[in-house]
Chains A and B, each alone.
Chain A
Amino acid sequence: MKLVLHQQREINETEVEVRYAEMDENVRSLIRRIRQSEQHIIGEDNGRRYRVPIESIYYIESMERNVFIYTKAEVFRSELRIYQFLNLLDGYDFVQIGKGIIVNMNMIDCLNSLANSRLQITLINGERLNVSRRFLAAMKSSFIGKGDIQA
């Protein structure tokens, strides 16, 4: 892949133009990452609202009617429900691994099949999360290809 950078002081917003011959998984992945890099969601911590960049999210978990957003060092609460996050993050590098848990695919270090026939992912910060077997097929298809992205 060829990377061309142009500095134009007169423009207010950074522009990214992707030229490609075929819309393959590499291009799709690139587009997802570009989109993900500038988007954010609102999270609450101690009554204060924060803009949480999507790319900094490790995982989102629903626990007892509350939804928490986990980043490297912080945890934010959200008023959104898991299904709303699933809609919101459709097209981004996120995958559902359980009924109430969505993980950033770029934060996964590895997937392990444990001796007790359970599945577990290890995140890049060493944290471990259980994967429901019901979501394994969806997880596999998310990693192989997330489908077509509108250019």
Chain B
Amino acid sequence: MKAFLKQWMLIFGFVVLSAHIIPPIINGRWDGAWLIIKLLAASFLICASIRLLEKLPIEIPLLKHLINMCAVLLIVFALGWLWQWYTPAGFWIVFVMVIPVYVVVVLIDAIKIKRDVEIINKQIQLRKRENIHETQEEII
């Protein structure tokens, strides 16, 4: 299921990109493509900033998430101001857009890590059992 969802989203991303970028290359009309290019740039900056922030030795998880979320908000605010995604009166829309997405991504990430840790621990226990059996055989 996970692999299917991943593949689906990846294909979706490529379809959106090719549908908005290949026609302008052919007909030279870039009006509709700019939004997709801007979103691509915004998501790249968000990913890069989170990668960079991961290197900070922050021990408190809440603080770490708060800093990450501030960085994402800052990027969306800056790019939104540059590309006029919101009006001065409607700046709150950025919070509505960013915070739920960030929370969902963090939750999915936490669930995935928990599952991976369980799988690895199971494999470690299996190895230990194998080692015990081998030791017993040697004793016999």
> How many A residues face the partner with a CB closer than 8 A?
23
> How many B residues face the partner with a CB closer than 8 A?
19
Q: Output the residue of B124, B130, B137 with the most chain A CB within 10 A.
A: B124
Give chain A nearest CB distance to B106 CB in angstroms. Answer: 9
Chain A residue at minimum C-beta to C-beta distance from B130: A29
Chain B residue at minimum C-beta to C-beta distance from A134: B54
Q: Is A11 an interface residue (CB 8 A)?
A: no
A105 touches which of B113, B121, B127 (Cβ 8 Å) = B127
Q: Evaluate contact between B123 and A143: CB separation under 8 angstroms.
A: yes
Q: Evaluate contact between A140 and B119: CB separation under 8 angstroms.
A: yes
Give chain A nearest CB distance to B4 CB in angstroms. Answer: 18
Q: Evaluate contact between A113 and B114: CB separation under 8 angstroms.
A: yes
> CA of A137 to CA of B137 in the docked complex: distance in angstroms?
34
Q: Which residues of chain B have C-beta atoms less than 8 A from A23's C-beta?
A: none
Chain B residue at minimum C-beta to C-beta distance from A33: B134
Instruction: Scan residues 12-36 of chain B and give those whose CB is less than 8 A from a CB of chain A.
Output: none
Instruction: Scan residues 73-127 of chain B and give those whose CB is less than 8 A from a CB of chain A.
Output: 110, 113-114, 116-117, 119-121, 123-124, 127
Q: Which residues of chain A have C-beta atoms less than 8 A from B131's C-beta?
A: 106
> CA of A116 to CA of B63 in the docked complex: distance in angstroms?
10
Instruction: Scan residues 36-78 of chain B and give those whose CB is less than 8 A from a CB of chain A.
Output: 54, 59-61, 64
Given A29-B130, A105-B127, A116-B60, the answer on whether A3 and B119 have CB atoms closer than 8 Å is: no
> CA of A136 to CA of B116 in the docked complex: distance in angstroms?
8
B124 touches which of A29, A110, A119, A136 (Cβ 8 Å) = A110
Give chain A nearest CB distance to B78 CB in angstroms. Answer: 27
> CA of A136 to CA of B123 in the docked complex: distance in angstroms?
14
Q: Which residues of chain B have C-beta atoms less than 8 A from A109's C-beta?
A: 124
Q: Which residues of chain B have C-beta atoms less than 8 A from A108's C-beta?
A: 124
A-B CB contact pairs (8 Å), 23 listed: A3-B137, A29-B127, A105-B124, A108-B124, A109-B124, A110-B121, A110-B124, A111-B117, A111-B124, A112-B117, A116-B59, A116-B61, A116-B64, A117-B61, A117-B110, A119-B113, A134-B54, A137-B116, A139-B120, A140-B116, A140-B119, A143-B119, A143-B124
Chain A contact residues, CB within 8 Å of chain B: 3, 29, 105-106, 108-113, 115-119, 133-134, 136-137, 139-140, 143-144
7 tightest A-B contacts by CB? A143-B123, A117-B61, A113-B117, A111-B120, A116-B59, A140-B116, A116-B61
